[in-house]
Amino acid sequence: MVEINAFFQRYVSKDSIFKNRASLQQEYVPRNLPFREGQIQEVASILAPALKNEKPSNLFVYGKTGTGKTLTVLHTTSEMQKVASSQKLPLRVVFVNCKLKRVADTEYRLIAELARHFGKEIPTTGLPTDEVYRQFYEIIDKTKQIIIVILDEIDQLIGKTGDALLYNLTRINAELKQAKLSMVGISNDMTFIEGLDPRVKSSLGGEELLFPPYDAEQLEKILTERSELAFIQNSLEEGFIQKCAGIAARDHGDARRAIELMRVAGEIAERKLSIKVSISHLDEAERMIDRHRIIDIASTQPMQYQLVLYATMTLCERKKGVFTGEIYGLYARLCQQLSVRPLTQRRVADILTEDDMLGLISAPIVSKGRYGRTREITVSMQENDFLSISLLLREGLGL
DNA sequence: AGGTATTCACATGAAACTATTCTCTGAGTTAGG
DNA sequence: TAACTCAGAGAATAGTTTCATGTGAATACCTGT
């Protein structure tokens, strides 16, 4: 009781290290984008015809996560919109993130979402896809206008629904009499356009733009700029930013991660009531982010997934390098114990692959020669996280 | 010894199925004129 | 007769199951020496 009181006393009496925490949040849009001037210029010149009432070419933007693709495109288009509205030009920019579950992750939903931006509500289900297209044409073709549709994370959508969708999108223009529509696709996957049907590729007829990852030096600049907004003066230890930039650069130059790392380190420092954010806080932040991510995934997954994960963890506790079959065996027994109908092994194999992708486990395929071919699975978690997550799962599942 | 064929234990792919959610349509029902 | 209700048909989608085919290398099985 006394200690807690003392804690609050200290907490209140001490000034926060943060000046403006929000500027480190994911949603924050910085006013300027360092090292992206060239790209901004490129995007601008490709899309500029829209300001002369001509249809700009389609554009594809590639680059790893956290290289500023989305921000660049948003920034340029919003500038264009300012010009357009001051000149009374009919330009519409629509931004859609194709990854958002239940919003735009299928063809139907994408078109419905686009239509929604033009004020036409379309039911979530029940209509044929053709009908959705029809209604979309109808609403946008009412007025003469140029429409730029920005499709963020478009590779996710195409991977899921096939490239016929892109073909349909390009065909839209043929159906329109008044309006014109061009696309800006943003993708994390550089190889995505090569995987397309050549016919689709040619009908797209688009420009391409590559965003290189930031190097450590650039990250350092970006972080410095951001930290001046976010922290009060002199609250970062000497060398902190360099280390932070280094970590992120090692991680394919992801600026978003770098900023998150900086924020979490700051929060840790603040919780510990230290005056400065130090390099040691960084290491802790790195671990904490990982831990949070894993706990989040593990606790929000559906029960079947949790069972599979629990089975995996239980087996891995005893020995390392477990095979799919063993996991399935234990999983099936657990199901019986809980009187749940077990999934087929086929499905469990997929679940294991997904967990591998998420980084919960590592599951490379190994061939044991005469004794078959399977995955050799190990759980990739820190020792102390392992225990707490295992416990969490056990309780959640009622075992 | 050296080379080929088998064989295991799954991996991987495709298609079909199930269940849920939602719209639309048209038949039947109801209430007011 | 207009308005309303309600069941049934048809869609989209997620999450599976079913069926089919693929696969890497340790062993088993030859072969000729």
Q: What is the pLDDT of residues A140-169, one digit of tens each?
A: 999 999 999 999 999 888 888 887 888 888
Using a 7 Å cut-off to protein CB atoms, list the covered nucleotides of chain C: 10-20, 22-28
Per-residue model confidence as pLDDT tens digits over A21-68: 899 998 888 888 999 999 999 999 999 999 999 999 999 999 999 999
pTM: 0.88
What's residue A13's pLDDT? Answer: 66
Per-residue model confidence as pLDDT tens digits over A258-289: 999 999 999 999 888 888 889 999 999 999 99
Closest nucleotide relative to residue A370's CA, C1' based? C26
Give yes or no for residue A75 having a pLDDT over 80: yes
Using a 7 Å cut-off to protein CB atoms, list the covered nucleotides of chain B: 6-14, 21-24
Distance in Å, residue A378 CA to nucleotide C25 C1': 22
Span A6-29, mean pLDDT?
80
What's residue A149's pLDDT? Answer: 96
- To 10 degrees, the CA torsion angle through A126, A128, A134, A136? 50
Beta-ladder partners of A92: A147
Per-residue model confidence as pLDDT tens digits over A351-365: 999 999 999 999 999
Residue nearest to nucleotide C22 (CA to C1'): A373
Distance in Å, residue A180 CA to nucleotide C5 C1': 44
Contact A187, A155 (CB under 8 A): yes
Cα gap A240→A236, rounded to integer Å: 6
Strand B contact with A332 (CB < 7 A)? no
Q: CB within 7 A of strand C: which residues qualify? A: A 101-102, 105-109, 125-129, 302, 304, 341-344, 346-347, 367-373
Binning pLDDT at 50, 70 and 90, where does residue A1 land? low
Per-residue model confidence as pLDDT tens digits over A282-320: 999 999 999 999 999 999 999 999 999 999 999 999 888
Pair of tokens at residue A272:
């510990």
Strand B contact with A373 (CB < 7 A)? yes
In A 112-131, which Cβ lie closer than 7 Å to strand B?
123-127
Strand B contact with A353 (CB < 7 A)? yes
Distance in Å, residue A342 CA to nucleotide B16 C1': 20
Positive or negative, the CA dihedral A131, A134, A138, A144 is: positive
Per-residue model confidence as pLDDT tens digits over A120-141: 999 989 899 999 999 999 999 9
Where b means 16+ CB within 10 Å and e means fewer, A142-161 reads eeebbbbbbbbbbbbbbeeb
Span A358-387, mean pLDDT?
94
Closest nucleotide relative to residue A127's CA, C1' based? C11
Residue that is written with structure tokens 């963020």 in the block: A152
Residue type, A379: V
In A 127-186, which Cβ lie closer than 7 Å to strand B?
127
Positive or negative, the CA dihedral A362, A357, A189, A23 is: negative
Pick from A323, A298, A324, A329: nearest CA to A391: A298
Distance in Å, residue A369 CA to nucleotide B2 C1': 19
Cα gap A275→A17, rounded to integer Å: 7
Distance in Å, residue A325 CA to nucleotide C20 C1': 20
What's residue A15's pLDDT? Answer: 67
Strand B contact with A321 (CB < 7 A)? no
Pick from A61, A147, A150: nearest CA to A98: A150
Report the relative pairing of strands A59-63 and A180-187 from DSSP bridges. parallel
